[in-house]
Amino acid sequence: RAALQAADGVVVVIDATAGVKVGTEKVWAFTEEQHLPRIVFINKMDRERADFFKVMEETADAFEIKPTPLFLPIGAEDRFAGVVDVVKEKAYVYDKDGSGRFETDAIPEDMQETVAEWREKVIENVVEVNDDLMEKYLEGEDLSPSEIEETLVEGIRSGAVIPMMCGAAVLSMGVPQLMDLIVLGLPSPLDREPKEGVSPGGEEPVSRSPLPDAPFSALAFKTIADPFAGKLTLIRVFSGTMAADGTTYNANKEAKEKYGQLLLIEGKKQQSVEAAGPGDIVAIAKLKETATGDTLCDMDDPVIYRPVEPLPPVISYAVEAKVKGSEDKVFSSLNKLLEEDPTLRLERDQTTSEIILSGTGQIHLETICERLSRKFGVEVTLNPVKVPYRETIKKAVKQVIYRHKKQSGGRGQFAEVHFDVSPLERDKGFEFEEALTGMNVPRNFVPAVEKGLNEALQTGILAGYPVVDLKVRFYDGKSHDVDSSEMAFKIAASMCLKKAIQEATPILIEPIMKVEVTIPEDAMGDVMGDLNGRRGRVLGMDSLGKYQVIKAHVPMAEMLTYALDLNSITGGRGSFTMEHSHYEELPAQLAEKVIAAAKEKE
């Protein structure tokens, strides 16, 4: 998705044996976002069950476009021999040795009628782009090859025409024709419209023409973390010229950025270049300020290109180092991969001390683990995330008194505290009110009381989870001139709170997630039933083209494997987003299981 920001056109490759899949739909949506011209290449025509016409119609239906096949296949499966140019009415018959060699021939007799039918449809689709040519065509005048070609190019670049082709890439069959159409039809960087951005304040629109002498501007669209070479930032130049070994300006960070070589990357090879202009993609090593999505530009003519929002993470796992003691290395290595992949999220759970890694899917996170091992020599396992339950109380209790007294020779310990404890609304945390009126407790012991309360709140009495959403009113107590101390009052406060919680009907509460599930209409019943089975509450539904969006509140404990389950239910056609909403009381029968599991670990 981010890489498409650096592209001027797209070839969408579709499997002739499988047709439009979930990945095809996602890629298509991304190209729509970027308003990029497209060519559809239906690949694997040499494979068993390859069906060009079926996949072409399926593609046209799925994306609501007119079928415009510029090339038709000669045969299919093991009889696939080449392609026919529908407009030029020529056949290209290939050697099957993978060399890409072909001979130009006449259209096979058994294809002539089909080619003629599709030629008429293709030309009709093309001339709709140009009113003058359309009028000429409708009046029955002959169109010259140059007129058709020029209008075809106009249609491709405007998005009005999305041509379809076919071939077998492994055998290089149809690939030369594809390359020719890419050169002819897709725009060069200099053919693109000016790139739209905003001023650094975000208020004024700014555009940059793709000219070498325009003010310099470029987008950092990808970062590569190399354990040896350090960070490599890939940039796409949209305007102006960038010379090697200079200083540029990062408009997002409002900082100057020094850089050295400009590298042209071709596979594993890196070649140094003197300068980069509009359309060039180069890599720069060890930029200190620049991250993926930042705009580099002239300081005197700043502009910011808004990057696409990264896909939200939908699945989380706790990352555990296989070698004990290497947790810090795991965390630092993951942070480097975060620079490469903005769809990753990384955090340390303060309650469970787990390293939580979130991504867009199971395969995504497994790939990250493989890269950790390959790039940084760090071996990890993925474990289910621990649900961050909390404990709280249901009723208020008044005049809870606890006396801490210890005498074992010499100076003793004495402190007595009187509390009123009451529940608060969800997500209000903890409130402490000091309401002392007399001199029974010197005010200098109040901070120790508050400290004792905060420590006691870290470990609840039911299952050891943090205690939240309650208020403690410290209204009285007793002290001793000699035996009272900060430690004594801290202990007394901690024990008094635990006593109060025991009397105030303690309960477990669980995190509830706000979930939005996007699915095809035919999966609605199955997904709704599944959400209900997860103790979910459906809040509403919206339409989004051919899809339905279900909005619901679902307990986090029921969503830990949802990415995999939704994929299974919808055949990979569903997606969802999830974020924390609030906490609710955990049903008693489930709370008993959580408490029992916690006691087993003690």
In this structure, is residue 116 part of a structural domain? yes
Q: What CATH number did the domain enclosing 32 receive?
A: 3.40.50.300
Domains: count for the chain: 5
pLDDT 10s digits, 528-561: 999 999 999 999 999 887 789 999 999 999 998 8
Residue-averaged pLDDT of the chain: 93
Tell me, what's the pLDDT at 352?
75
The reported pLDDT for the residue numbered 559 is 94
Residue 361 inside a domain? The answer is yes
Residue type, 479: S
Q: Residues 59-73: pLDDT tens digits?
A: 999 999 999 999 999
CB 197, CB 303: distance < 8 Å: yes
Last residue of a domain, one of 462, 486, 504: 504
Percent of the chain beyond pLDDT 70? 99
Based on the domain organization, do 9 and 84 belong to the same domain? yes
Q: Look-up: residue for tokens 């190209």?
A: 31
Whether residue 167 sits in one domain with residue 24: yes
DSSP string, 261-330: -EEEEETTEEEEESEE-TT-EEEEE--SS--TT-EEE-TTS--BPPPPPPPPP-EEEEEEESSTT-HHHH
Tell me the average pLDDT across 565-584: 90
pLDDT at residue 31 in the model: 93
Q: What is the mean pLDDT of residues 493-502?
A: 97
Asked whether residue 261 falls in the same domain as residue 342, the answer is no
To the nearest 10°, report the CA torsion of 275, 277, 279, 282. 20
319, pLDDT greater than 90 = yes
- Arithmetic mean of pLDDT, 349-364: 84
CATH number of the domain to which 377 belongs: 3.30.70.870
Q: What is the pTM of this model?
A: 0.74
Domain edge (last residue) among 359, 384, 409: 384
Answer yes or no: do 234 and 114 share one domain. no
Helix axes 327-340, 362-376, angle to 10 degrees: 110
Other C-beta atoms within 10 Å of 571: how many?
Answer: 12
Same domain? 236 vs 272: yes
Q: Note whether 182 and 34 are same-domain residues.
A: yes
Residues 555 and 537 in one domain: yes
Q: Who wins on pLDDT, 8 or 314?
A: 8
Q: 91 or 572: which carries more pLDDT confidence? A: 91
Helix, strand, coil percentages (3-state) for the chain, rounded to 5, are 30, 35, 35
For the chain, percent of residues with pLDDT exceeding 90: 74
pLDDT in tens, 275-306: 999 999 999 999 999 999 999 999 999 999 98
On whether both 28 and 157 belong to a single domain, the answer is yes
Q: Which amino acid is at 24?
A: T
Q: Who has greater pLDDT, 460 or 348?
A: 460
| Contact (CB, 8 A) for 45 and 168 | yes
pLDDT at 43 over 70: yes
DSSP 55-104: HHHHHHHHHT----BSEEEES-GGG--EEEETTTTEEEEEPSSSS--EEE
Answer yes or no: is 520 within a domain: yes
β-pair partners for 296? 218, 250
What does the pLDDT read at residue 142? 84
State the Cα–Cα distance between residues 174 and 194, nearest whole angstrom.
33
Q: Any residues with CB less than 8 A from the CB of 64 and at least 6 apart, and which?
A: none
Domain that holds residue 480: 391-504
Domain termination residue (choose one: 155, 187, 219):
187
Which pLDDT does position 409 carry in this prediction?
67
First to last CA, the chain: 47
CATH at 404: 3.30.230.10
Does one domain contain both 59 and 159? yes
Asked whether residue 557 is assigned to any structural domain, the reply reads yes
Domain assignment present for 587 = yes
Residue 269 maps to which CATH number? 2.40.30.10
Name the band, by pLDDT with cuts 50, 70 and 90, for residue 3. confident
585: nearest Cα among 341, 414, 391: 391
Same domain, 492 and 514: no
Burial class (CB in 10 A: 0-12, 13-18, 19+), 5: buried
